[in-house]
């Protein structure tokens, strides 16, 4: 079932042609700013991978990948990627990228199980990035350093967009606020995770929530995360668990928290074994990606994804992701958007 977040007195500040130009402007500027901030090189990525190798990202573990048989491989099944979290780490090894540098790529995916609405489409496009790190970098302090660099690239992009389109006034907070998911729970114990996100972003503007995936004191995770890429279980120097998180920004058009990036320091062998056991997924240890990681063939890394259409939607101050990308929507959803003055592509 689709959902709809109705904006207050919405009117697009850019027409269709200006929007198309703005999309290119945002994408061109931000990817260069990101690559410079994190020392990343661009690489070419796959749209699909072979099933059963453990390379595809299974997100929360419930989403179905789009699959098809490959005739030349005896009808072996290929599946459209959900993201490239594991593929990127394998690529760091293949390119022999040293600590302090990394790679990024354009990731395009189809997520057939998405609940469609203002923030979610069947089609997902993001910059997937991964950077090699040292063992001594596996801590919250380093995680925060990388987040601040990414946020700096976002601030630069926002200023550039406002210069190109003066009607789009800058709205990003000057700096990002950090909080652990457990601290957020204690701050708003009577609210759901999404309601907590709204409240903390309403207060600070831009927030990075640390520790996404591990169970909190109420026995539930703030949000779900697969067990074999982000490290959400390692004790950190702040007295909590987790070396990953989500970057959220207050969206003034929709009046709510808006996730821009999911990222984190990746699991080492110890953390992956622990998280697979916690999740009841120990059988994955026999898959290609997992065997290579446990054998020490893959470098330690930090990485994540940054939504391309999401970022364009935010900076061009649009109310619906369908104003940025062409996709399929239920007809009643299109009608609701038309009545709200939201022109879907």
Give 74-108 pLDDT, tens digit per residue. 999 999 988 898 999 999 999 999 999 999 999 99
Average pLDDT over all residues of the chain: 95
66-75, 98-107, 127-136, 170-179: least confident range: 66-75
Please identify which of the residues 246, 256, 261, 268 carries the catalytic annotation. Answer: 246
Please identify which of the residues 83, 91, 233, 262 carries the catalytic annotation. Answer: 262
Which tokens belong to 191?
């609210």
Please identify which of the residues 53, 259, 284, 285 carries the catalytic annotation. Answer: 259
Give 241-261 pLDDT, tens digit per residue.
999 999 999 999 999 999 999
60 or 111: which leads in pLDDT: 111
Please identify which of the residues 31, 57, 198, 273 carries the catalytic annotation. Answer: 57
Instruction: Show the domains of the chain with their CATH numbers.
Output: 16-339 (3.30.930.10)
Told to judge if 259 belongs to the known catalytic residues of this protein, a careful annotator would answer yes
Give 269-285 pLDDT, tens digit per residue.
999 999 999 999 999 99
Please identify which of the residues 12, 83, 111, 323 carries the catalytic annotation. Answer: 111
Give 176-229 pLDDT, tens digit per residue.
999 999 999 999 999 999 999 999 999 999 999 999 999 999 999 999 999 999
Averaged pLDDT, 311-336: 96
Give 157-167 pLDDT, tens digit per residue.
999 999 999 99
Q: Binning pLDDT at 50, 70 and 90, where does residue 139 land? A: very high
Give 26-62 pLDDT, tens digit per residue.
999 999 999 999 999 999 999 998 888 878 876 555 6
Q: What pLDDT, on the 0 to 100 scale, is given for residue 259?
A: 97
Q: What pLDDT, on the 0 to 100 scale, is given for residue 57?
A: 73
> Could you tell me the pTM of the whole model?
0.94
Q: What pLDDT, on the 0 to 100 scale, is given for residue 52?
A: 82
Q: What pLDDT, on the 0 to 100 scale, is given for residue 62?
A: 65
Q: Is residue 73 packed enough to be buried (19+ CB in 10 Å), middle (13-18) or exposed (0-12)?
A: exposed
Does 290 have pLDDT greater than 90?
yes
Does 114 have pLDDT greater than 90?
no
Told to judge if 246 belongs to the known catalytic residues of this protein, a careful annotator would answer yes
Told to judge if 111 belongs to the known catalytic residues of this protein, a careful annotator would answer yes
């Amino acid at each position: 079932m689709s959902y709809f977040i109705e904006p207050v007195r919405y009117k697009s500040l850019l027409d269709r042609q200006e929007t198309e130009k703005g999309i290119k402007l945002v994408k061109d500027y931000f990817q260069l700013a990101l690559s410079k901030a994190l020392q990343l090189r661009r690489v070419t990525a796959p749209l699909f991978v072979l099933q059963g190798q453990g390379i595809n990202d299974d997100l929360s573990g419930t989403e179905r990948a789009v699959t098809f048989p490959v005739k030349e491989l005896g009808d072996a099944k290929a599946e459209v990627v959900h993201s490239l979290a594991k593929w990127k780490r394998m690529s760091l090894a293949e390119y022999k990228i040293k600590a302090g540098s990394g790679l990024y790529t354009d990731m395009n995916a189809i997520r057939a199980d998405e609940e469609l609405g203002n923030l979610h489409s069947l089609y997902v496009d993001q910059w997937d990035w991964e950077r090699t790190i040292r063992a001594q970098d596996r801590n919250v302090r380093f995680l925060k350093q990388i987040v601040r660099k990414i946020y700096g690239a976002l601030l630069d992009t926002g200023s550039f967009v406002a210069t190109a389109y003066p009607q789009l006034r800058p709205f990003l907070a000057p700096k990002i606020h950090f909080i652990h998911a457990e601290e957020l729970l204690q701050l708003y114990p009577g609210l759901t995770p999404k309601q907590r996100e709204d409240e903390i972003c309403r207060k600070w503007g831009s927030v990075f929530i640390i520790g996404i995936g591990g169970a909190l004191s109420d026995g539930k995770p703030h949000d779900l995360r697969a067990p074999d890429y982000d490290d959400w279980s390692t004790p950190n120097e702040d007295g909590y668990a987790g070396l990953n998180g989500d970057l959220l920004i207050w969206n003034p058009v929709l009046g709510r928290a808006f996730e821009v990036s999911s990222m984190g320091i990746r699991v080492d062998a110890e953390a992956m074994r622990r998280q697979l056991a916690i999740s009841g997924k120990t059988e994955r240890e026999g898959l290609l990606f997992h065997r290579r990681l446990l054998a020490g063939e893959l470098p330690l890394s930090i990485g994540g994804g940054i939504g391309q259409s999401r970022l364009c939607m935010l900076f061009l101050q649009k109310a619906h992701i369908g104003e940025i990308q062409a996709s399929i929507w239920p007809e009643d959803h299109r009608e609701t958007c038309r009545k709200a003055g939201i022109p879907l592509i």
